[in-house]
Structure 1
């Protein structure tokens, strides 16, 4: 059994990103992300600071656009279009949730998909579906794929059970794995025999948001288990969707919570900004 720590994946990615940023800088391209925030939601502020720290650590410039809590949809879209058109901005990170008067669906259709590094545009989801390598998948599913690549698993023909069907993780992850020729089953709250579906899988990815959902009975010996779940337990500590202590001994590879997928996700965001700069100015 090997515990796959996100820090090891991040270290590998960070070195590659710094080299890419240096290469772009040498060509006069200065990767820049714009963090867009409406109001003063504490969780948005905290996430924005964490994202900025990660981006800056690989040499990406970070700028900010902040708007009042009560800004109208019309006024926000006018300002957002200006950010879209700013040639110095390569990636746009819109912090959510947004205030109730703002229509996120309309905004998702306005954002330039070439700068949509957090994957809110339906165009990027379509690109993921058809296997277009210019797509920006949601960061968490791509973090899962980075972990799989770090382990060295060839997904061709592998049986994969994805537990969770959200547009943020489960569904795009299904498409990413299908594009790598995996044989996938998508499980969700209506799946009748979750144990059987998981037991047949060589790889189980869990993103259901239910602490301890996956137990020893779900996992076949030698399986790889990737836990995307984040839950606050009765002990006020962070727990995943997998009963780690029970499951880990029978796995070949398993990710912990915390310290697994989540720590890779923000680095994927940085990778998306670098990719956006390359796509915008090298093609």
Structure 2
């Protein structure tokens, strides 16, 4: 049976460490990192996510700026807010919660964020810095969290075969770039990859980020592999409720893999923790201050 990778516990430790570092900055440098989160509309899942971000930001000793706009907000109005946040010296990180309403072009908004404050790591400049191997960009939070879990479990990743199933700009592509930076041999696959099961079986590290519940079966996994399930899929239940499930058939995979992340409780909790990590990093870089230990 696979060892379960407890992302919730790891994220709690990371947030506590960030809180200690923030306290040192406040005491020694005299400033407090600030994170601004923008929510447009009333999507229930987004509201919960934004509420959790605000709570954990405050818990880490940072300043939380929340901007909630109605669903009918026009694109120029949102752009104006982003520009004000870019110019605000108290704001070190800006996050615009996705998805956005249909009348707003998400790419236009995300590209308008100052790359130095782009704590989601979605700006083309940060994506380019990651792709070229430059270590000074801000990295998307979910793949960064997944990498932290891999390092914690496996230590040195050099020379391992990694297969990333998924090619999104949010997870798949940056995950592949991070693994390349660790000297893994990386293959990016997707739902249209031919002979996908055979390819997955070649992986020492298998990252599932395709957005299809239970797509990765147990017999797709190399015995002893480490499986990182990034998928978060809501499956309706007969009583009207929903349960979360990943892209990996957990019941099958847990009997084959050496290590595996559950859904929920695996990679998910790492996302907000890494958002705080990026905010701390951005705050120090903007002021030319070394990150405290």
The TM-score bracket by the shorter chain reads over 0.9
| 1:189 correspondence with 2:195 | no
1:6 matched to which residue of 2?
A: 7
- Which segments of 5 or more consecutive residues in structure 2 lack a partner in the other structure? none
How far residue 68 of structure 1 moved from its aligned partner, in angstroms, is 3.8
Structure 1 residue runs of 5 or longer lacking an equivalent are: none
The C-alpha deviation readout for 1:193-233, integer Å capped at 9, x for no partner, is: 01111111111010111122112211111111111111223
Output the CA distance in 2 between the equivalents of 1:71 and 1:213.
37
Using the alignment, how far apart are the partners of 2:229 and 2:44 within structure 1?
26
User: 2:262: which partner in 1?
Assistant: 256
Please state how far the C-alpha of 1:255 moved relative to its aligned partner.
0.8
Equivalent residue for 1:141, pick from 140, 143, 167: 143
1:277 is aligned to 2:286: no
Q: Residue deviations 1:39-77, cap 9 Å, x none?
A: 333333222101111211111110122334333333332
Shift of 1:234: 4.9
Q: Deviations over 1:142-194 (max 9, x none)?
A: 11101112213322111001111111111110111111111011110111101
Rounded Cα–Cα distance in structure 2 between residues aligned with 1:214 and 1:153: 25
5 Å-filtered alignment, 1:22-101, equals 22-26=23-27, 27-101=29-103
Partner deviation per Cα, 1:102-161 (whole Å, 9 max, x = no partner): 222222221101101112311111111112222222111111101112213322111001
Q: 2 CA distance for matches of 1:24 and 1:187?
A: 42
The match for 1:130 is 132
Distance in 1, matches of 2:131 and 2:7, equals 26
What does 1:127-276 correspond to in 2, within 5 Å?
127-235=129-237, 236-276=242-282
* RMSD (CA atoms): 1.6
TM-score, normalised to structure 1, is 0.94
Residue 3 (structure 1) shift: 0.7
Conserved 8 A contact 2:122-2:170? no
The answer as to whether partners of 2:233 and 2:245 remain within 8 angstroms in 1 is: yes
**SS across alignment from 2:255:** helix
Q: Retained in 2: the 8 A contact 1:9–1:146? A: no
Cα distance change, pair 261–127 in 1 and its aligned pair in 2 (3 A): same
Give the count of matched residue pairs. 283
Label 1:230 to 1:41 Cα distance change in 2 as closer, same or farther (>3 A): closer
Q: What's the TM-score once normalised by structure 2's chain length? A: 0.91
Which shows bigger deviation, 136-145 or 242-251? 242-251
